Amino acid sequence: MTGRYLSVLLTLMAIVALGSAPAAGQSQTTAADTSPKVLTPWGQPDLQGVWDFRTITPMERPSELADKAFLSVEEAAGLEESRRRRDAGRDDETPADGVGNYNQFWFDRGTEVIGTRRTSLVVDPPDGRIPPLTAEAETKQAARREARRGVGPHQPTPGGWVDDLGTNGLQVRCITGFNSGPPMTPAGYNNNVQLFQTPNHVVLLNEMNHNARIIPLDQREHGDLRQWAGDSRGYWDGDTLVVETINFLRETSFLRGGSSAALHLVERFTRGSADMLLYQVTVEDRETWTRPWTYEVPMVRSAEPIYEYACHEGNYAMEVILAGARAEEQAAESAPGR
């Protein structure tokens, strides 16, 4: 282990230790305490804790809801009950794509809509829909669909080994989690993030793929190194923590590889109450969408800890997926008529 990596590890350990200990002078959070004005000893809004962002509210407003921005109380309750019944009845179902997945018991998508009862997580544009793709993005996606015609979501494109393992390739290879971002999006399971603070740094530790973003708050410039999770810098806007991220290496698992390396994110974290942290994300990617767009997820405080996510320990899936793909290619090459 080099001195540089040891230093980073020790810094992260110190931050975790600070975040897990009760802050001196900090009020204890109770069910009756809904005041968002809980401060750290150094005077910043205290956003620390484990936050759960699972929800059955879709990213985009369903087309059948048209101009309906909010569900009624009765509609929300009916949708939640329908989801609970459906999940209870499919615990032992075999997944549609068979090998490479789990039975339904292991999924943890949630059973509730977000507290506002909005019909989509997208709040801008007002129609609750993600803006149209650019002409360039349309062309790229059409070419990808054609190249992957008849290929399963966890299989590599024929002839592909490294760069193209499909829309789920990065998560299958344990490079990025399918919901950990940035930006974070509700998905099948591990919808948890733990937030730690020091006067000069914030750490976002995602349960999915044990991804940790250590974000400086000292107004330093962005670096030039492109990374899978981009390069994040943070600052305070009143009581809101703002995190700007650029310099992505390439597309990520966000929207199943839907963005590009030009992705520019602005994430905003605002303590709405003792048990709610509002997460708002503005997405700008001029190579992908025709305009910026914004979505919101009210995260709920969790009493559970973050558990280790050991993505590839004892996991034979990658070897099997690649071996199967090579066997299919060989069978196609030796087929009569070639």
Supply φ then ψ for residue 197, to 5 degrees. -135, 145
Q: What percent of the chain has pLDDT over 90?
A: 57
pLDDT value at position 76? 97
C-alpha distances in Å from residue 144, one per residue of 117, 157, 220, 267, 282 = 36, 9, 38, 29, 26
Q: Is 307 contained in some domain? A: yes
Q: Is 27 contained in some domain? A: no
125 preceded by a cis bond (ω within 30 of 0): yes
| pLDDT tens per residue across span 124-178 | 999 999 999 999 999 999 988 888 888 877 777 877 665 666 667 788 778 888 8
Q: Is 74 contained in some domain? A: no
Q: Residue 244: give the domain boundaries.
A: 48-55+135-332
Q: What percent of the chain has pLDDT over 70?
A: 81
pLDDT value at position 29? 35
Is the pLDDT at 31 greater than 50? The verdict is: no
Residue predicted with more confidence, 329 or 242: 242
Q: Is 197 contained in some domain? A: yes
Residue predicted with more confidence, 180 or 154: 180
Is the pLDDT at 252 greater than 80? The verdict is: yes
Is the pLDDT at 103 greater than 80? The verdict is: no
Q: Which conformational region is residue 166 in: left (phi greater than 0), alpha (psi within -120 to 50 degrees), or beta?
A: left
CATH number of the domain where residue 328 is located: 2.40.128.20
pLDDT value at position 338? 66
pLDDT value at position 35? 53
- Give the range among 5-9, 219-223, 312-316, 332-336 with minimum mean pLDDT: 5-9
Residue predicted with more confidence, 6 or 55: 55
- Give the range among 44-53, 156-165, 290-299 with minimum mean pLDDT: 156-165
Q: Is 24 contained in some domain? A: no
Is the pLDDT at 220 greater than 60? The verdict is: yes
* Structural domains counted in the chain: 1
Q: Is 85 contained in some domain? A: no
pLDDT value at position 335? 81
Residue predicted with more confidence, 23 or 240: 240
283: its two tokens: 């997405």
pLDDT value at position 165? 64
> In the predicted model, what is the mean pLDDT of the chain?
84
User: Helix H segments across the chain?
Assistant: 3-20, 73-89, 135-147, 169-172, 317-333
Neighbours of 52 (CB within 10 A): 19
Q: How many CA atoms lie within 13 A of 73 on its CB side?
A: 0
The residue-averaged pLDDT of 294-315 equals: 89
pLDDT value at position 90? 62
| pLDDT tens per residue across span 61-85 | 999 998 899 999 999 999 999 988 8
Q: Is 193 contained in some domain? A: yes
Is the pLDDT at 93 greater than 70? The verdict is: no
Is the pLDDT at 232 greater than 90? The verdict is: yes
Alpha carbon distance 115, 133 (integer Å)? 30
Residue predicted with more confidence, 221 or 211: 221
Q: Is 102 contained in some domain? A: no
What pLDDT band is residue 50 in, cutting at 50, 70 and 90?
very high
What pLDDT band is residue 282 in, cutting at 50, 70 and 90?
very high
- Give the range among 17-21, 191-195, 198-202 with minimum mean pLDDT: 17-21
The residue-averaged pLDDT of 20-41 equals: 52
